[in-house]
Homo-oligomer: A and B are copies of this chain.
Amino acid sequence: MSETEHVADVAVIGGGLAGLTAARRVHDSGVDVRVLEARDRVGGRTNSREIDGEVVDLGAQWIGPGQNHVKGLVSEFDLDTFEQYVAGEATFRADGEFFRDSDPFEALGLPTQLNLLVAIKLIDRYGEQIPLDAPWEAPKAEHWDATTVATWRDRVVRTSAGRDAFDSIVRALFCVEPAELSLLYFLFYIRAGGGFDRITSVRGGAQQTRITEGAQAISQALADELGDRVHLEAPVERIEHGDDAISVQADGISVSADYAIVAIPPALAGRIEYDPAMPAKRDALTQRMPMGAVIKCVATYEEPFWRDRGLSGEVVDADGPVGLVFDDSPKGGETGSLVGFLVGNSSREWADDPAGRRESVLESFVEYFGPRAGDPEAYEDMVWENEEYSRGCYGGLCGPGAVTGVAEALREPVGRIHWAGTETATRWCGYMDGAVRSGKRAADEVSERVGVRQADEGVTAGTVD
């Protein structure tokens, strides 16, 4: 195959938020950069599409307080935002029973409420003991990392409805089953998102605000700035890295550079061939951060009819195939839209059955919102675990033993290769904000090395931000 060859100071692998943020930042510091993106679009795990005339996010979509880095980009690119609709009663189903309340927590009964309050208090108290840049150094790191979230839940939450609620929240936050998660990783992740209330809430929390143009618009704006430095449909297959240089080989294109920033999830980074091979810990890490599983399903309607019935559109369902639902109507709510999440094992059950999935999701919507929900104007969904260049969403997660065993390798550069991606973030890990932060960090690591080299060579480097 004939290859186009490029030369740059820095090669960035992955054109999602992390990679594009990193690329823009090194570019702004006066450094030549090239971005290689496997897909035919930028934005990675954001994906905004027009459905039934409105922009819909089939990937990441919310931003909230404390996420100042992604918010900075939203402001900078003059994107419009609006609040997630959440007025009215939410719905919670467990043990086959529906609870409806403006605060569904109130409907759970006192023993369950107390139980969950204790659990939440412990999650936050334990979280405060975890150094976010080195969770393996927490005083109880070894014990917590040897415990699954399911085991801990059984110890702390005693009622059946409480366990159902707890599991639903875990699945909604992580897209895996509570059995799969290390308690240490779970505590770290929630702490990195500012604590339990902040990470789970709509108002005042991580689900507060939507972007009118769709979340992918951020990546698109970054890519527009970078222009032809971004190469699409260029899945990287091999990285040769020596003492003096890097050679990145993608399908049909190669980049010779001084440094590389790999800005894709560890599970995907592990599928690249490295020469020389990665150190043992780094390779083991790529085998130990499997991606969560989620199908995001959007149905559109002439109007958000549930609002008239006093329903917020929010559902947490411990029984059905759909784990979580939100009102997904566009700003102003002139038309209606619902977004449902199939998460964890349920996602994989339905991943390879598009027709059955649509039927099952709409049946669930009817159970929550009545017969009108069964007859949408349009229906579309996205199976993230079937995406060759994501292999799951929202992100890569640590099962027991991985944080204390191999997570040190997450951000540790290997020779001239640096690592970005939301999985490497120490704040808002797993979120768009974490992706942006990680891109900035990796860019600064590399810019400093390029600056030192250029200074050595008597070249004036651009200002490093």
Contact = CB atoms under 8 A, between A and B. Distances in A.
Contact of A399 (B142, B151, B401): B401
A348 B280 contact: yes
Interface of A: 142, 145-148, 150-151, 176-180, 267, 270-271, 277, 279-281, 283-284, 287-288, 290-291, 293, 344-345, 347-348, 351-352, 383, 385-386, 388, 391-392, 399-402, 404-406
The 5 closest A-B pairs by CB, nearest first: A280-B351, A180-B401, A146-B179, A146-B150, A287-B290
A269 to B, nearest CB: 11
A142 B288 CA distance: 21
B402 A277 contact: no
Contacts of A352: 279-280
Contacts of A176: 401
Nearest to A147: B151
How many monomers of this protein are in the complex? 2
A177 B141 CA distance: 14
A377 to B, nearest CB: 28
A293 B271 contact: no
A164 to B, nearest CB: 14
A148 B399 CA distance: 10
Nearest to A344: B405
Interface-centre pick from A177, A180, A281 (highest chain B CB count, 10 A):
A180
Nearest to A396: B287
Nearest to A384: B280
Contact of A151 (B142, B148, B283, B288): B148
A286 to B, nearest CB: 9
Contact of A284 (B280, B284, B290): B290
B287 A291 contact: yes
A4 to B, nearest CB: 17
